Chains A and B, each alone.
Chain A
Amino acid sequence: MRMKRVAALAAAATLALGMAACGGDSEEGTGAGSKSFAAGSTMEKLNKAQKIKIGTKFDQPGFGQKGLSGKPEGFDVEIAKIIVKELGIPEDKIEFVETPSKVREDVIVNGTVDLVAATYTINDKRKERIAFAGPYYEAGQNILVKKDDTTITGPDSFKDGTKKVCSVTGSTPAENIKQYVKDVGTQLVLFDTYDKCRDALKGGQVNAVTTDNVILLGYIAKDEASFKLAGDNFTKEPYGIGVKKEDTAFRTFINDTLEKAIADGSWKKAWDGTAGKFGAELGSAPTINRY
């Protein structure tokens, strides 16, 4: 019941926000479709087409999750909507495409989507194939354990080779934890989704699940009696918006939009209606990195 009310409130807030924005637009005479961008730029192309394809995750509570409503919801989705609004495209013209971690670079390079907002950690390896705008959030990797477990206090607890930890195949957290385990073959379990890791933790096949704190907080929020975090974040995971590598103009535009959203409070508002509901700390706004 409580979740329903929160959801209703969030919906009302979004609606109010949308209407306020519309009012502002008409006063300034810059309604959707009438924004102007440099000729030949991605922004102009998208604005003219009046539609956009955005890659996000459908299974990440608080960031991008497709629930029973049939539409993805979360912080990534809200950030994407802020960018789309700035492009002068109506919200209902966004096509969200599911992009699991392993295809994120490919869909950008192939042009399947126009941008990717999907708990996408900025790192140098990925920068070789695509470019990042942002970061718009800085998460950190943490460890989820059973509530009564006192033996795991941080990543160093895996070093003696007895504790088993679960993560998702091909994810950054899975790579990070490898340097803390003694033997990957016997200590690390990888599934295709974190839900399966959570079930394995509950079933006792693994001692811990590791990924970004915000995802783990989502699980704790749903089942406070069973789980807790072990220790503090031990990495910094700046989330960025993925775009084509050579499209510097589009990247600059997104960076400007993010800076504006942070300054005018819409960034915080997006958080409060999504991952913020799980009790996750938003922290201070990250500094946009215009590399």
Chain B
Amino acid sequence: MNVLIDKFDVFAGGFWLTLQICVLAAIGALILGAVVAVLRISPVPPLRAVGTGYVNVFRNMPLTVVMFFAAFGLPALGSNADFLRIPGVDALFTRLGTDLPYFRFALIALVLYTAAFVCEALRSGVNAVPAGQAEAARSIGLTFGQNLRYVVLPQSWKASVVPLGSVIIAMIKNSALAGFFGVVGDLSATADQLTGAEGYAFIPVAIGISIGYLIMTVPLGALLDRIEKRQAVAR
């Protein structure tokens, strides 16, 4: 188990990089997922079709395949995902701005994939709002946008906290795949590095990276439990 102490800096570095991926991917997936959810519940059929199509494609495609498309498909299409080099943000998350695009590719894949699940989590929340609420809102002359903003979304949010949390936790675990698509030094790649190049035994290293992921996921789960209790809809 010495590896956990001797190589603490390696584990910590991997943890930090994975955390960066997860924070950015969570923000991206929540935004994109919300947009897709709005599309899916909108009253305009073509927009609904776009939303449904998006969810059906990305929810049913394995993440490995999505990663493959991002890491090897985008370059083939001539894109290095440079639009993700957002000034200011890349100062904090330095990997966004480096010339190696694989951090950005992994981010794109995670966001696209997770957004489909975020959309469905939000939609399940919307479905939990009694239909009479939306009908009442419409009857007093609120537009679709106002209806969502003032009546439906505030209520649906409470019902989607728990499923959304599960989606984000799943996303954190899914981020382990990034290490196999060119993202150097994230938590999962750390394991390969320590067992492959440095010859450490597998089990202590695996325990080390498991702890890293648990540090990210367990407190998040506990936090969600508290939010749920506080925001619970009394029925």
Q: Which residues of A contact B (CB under 8 A)?
A: 100-103, 105-106, 109, 125-126, 128-129, 164, 166, 169-172, 174-175, 184-192, 196, 199-200, 203-206
- Residue of A at shortest CB range from B193? A170
Q: A109-B201, A170-B196, A205-B100 given. 7 additional CB < 8 A pairs? A: A100-B196, A169-B193, A185-B94, A185-B98, A189-B184, A190-B184, A191-B180
B199 touches which one: A125, A186, A196 (CB < 8 A)? Answer: A125
Nearest-Cβ distance from residue B149 to partner chain A, whole angstroms: 42
Nearest-Cβ distance from residue A190 to partner chain B, whole angstroms: 5
- Residue of B at shortest CB range from A206? B100
Interface core residue of B72, B94, B101, B182 (most chain A CB under 10 Å): B182
A185 and B202 form a contact (CB under 8 A): no
Contact pattern, B 189-214, Cβ under 8 Å of A = 1, otherwise 0:
10111111111011000000000000
- Residue of A at shortest CB range from B72? A199
Nearest-Cβ distance from residue B95 to partner chain A, whole angstroms: 7
A184 touches which one: B99, B179, B180, B184 (CB < 8 A)? Answer: B184
A170 and B197 form a contact (CB under 8 A): yes
Cβ–Cβ < 8 Å partners of B196 in chain A: 100-102, 169-171
Interface core residue of A103, A169, A171, A185 (most chain B CB under 10 Å): A169
User: Looking at chain A's contact residues, is the secondary structure mostly helix, strand, loop, or mixed?
Assistant: helix
Nearest-Cβ distance from residue A156 to partner chain B, whole angstroms: 20
A205 and B80 form a contact (CB under 8 A): yes
| Complexed CA–CA distance, A151 and B86 (Å) | 31
B202 and A192 form a contact (CB under 8 A): no
Tier of interface size on chain B: 20 to 34
| Complexed CA–CA distance, A204 and B180 (Å) | 19
B222 at the interface (CB under 8 A from A): no
Q: Which residues of B contact A (CB under 8 A)?
A: 71-72, 75-76, 80, 94-95, 98-102, 179-182, 184-185, 189, 191-199, 201-202
Cβ–Cβ < 8 Å partners of A190 in chain B: 182, 184, 189
- Residue of B at shortest CB range from A175? B197
Interface core residue of B80, B191, B195 (most chain A CB under 10 Å): B195
Cβ–Cβ < 8 Å partners of A171 in chain B: 196-197
B76 touches which one: A164, A169, A203 (CB < 8 A)? Answer: A203
| Complexed CA–CA distance, A102 and B192 (Å) | 6
A172 touches which one: B98, B185, B197 (CB < 8 A)? Answer: B197
A200 touches which one: B95, B182, B191, B195 (CB < 8 A)? Answer: B182
Cβ–Cβ < 8 Å partners of A164 in chain B: 99-100
Give 18 pairs: A residue, B residue, CB < 8 Å, sorted on A.
A100-B196, A102-B195, A105-B195, A105-B199, A105-B201, A109-B201, A170-B197, A175-B197, A184-B184, A184-B185, A185-B185, A191-B182, A192-B192, A196-B71, A200-B72, A200-B75, A203-B72, A205-B80
B184 and A188 form a contact (CB under 8 A): yes
Nearest-Cβ distance from residue A252 to partner chain B, whole angstroms: 23
Cβ–Cβ < 8 Å partners of A200 in chain B: 72, 75, 182
| Complexed CA–CA distance, A106 and B202 (Å) | 7
Nearest-Cβ distance from residue B101 to partner chain A, whole angstroms: 6
A189 and B198 form a contact (CB under 8 A): no
B98 and A186 form a contact (CB under 8 A): yes
Cβ–Cβ < 8 Å partners of A129 in chain B: 199, 201
A205 and B192 form a contact (CB under 8 A): no
- Residue of A at shortest CB range from B102? A189
A203 and B75 form a contact (CB under 8 A): yes
Cβ–Cβ < 8 Å partners of B102 in chain A: 189, 205
| Complexed CA–CA distance, A206 and B95 (Å) | 16
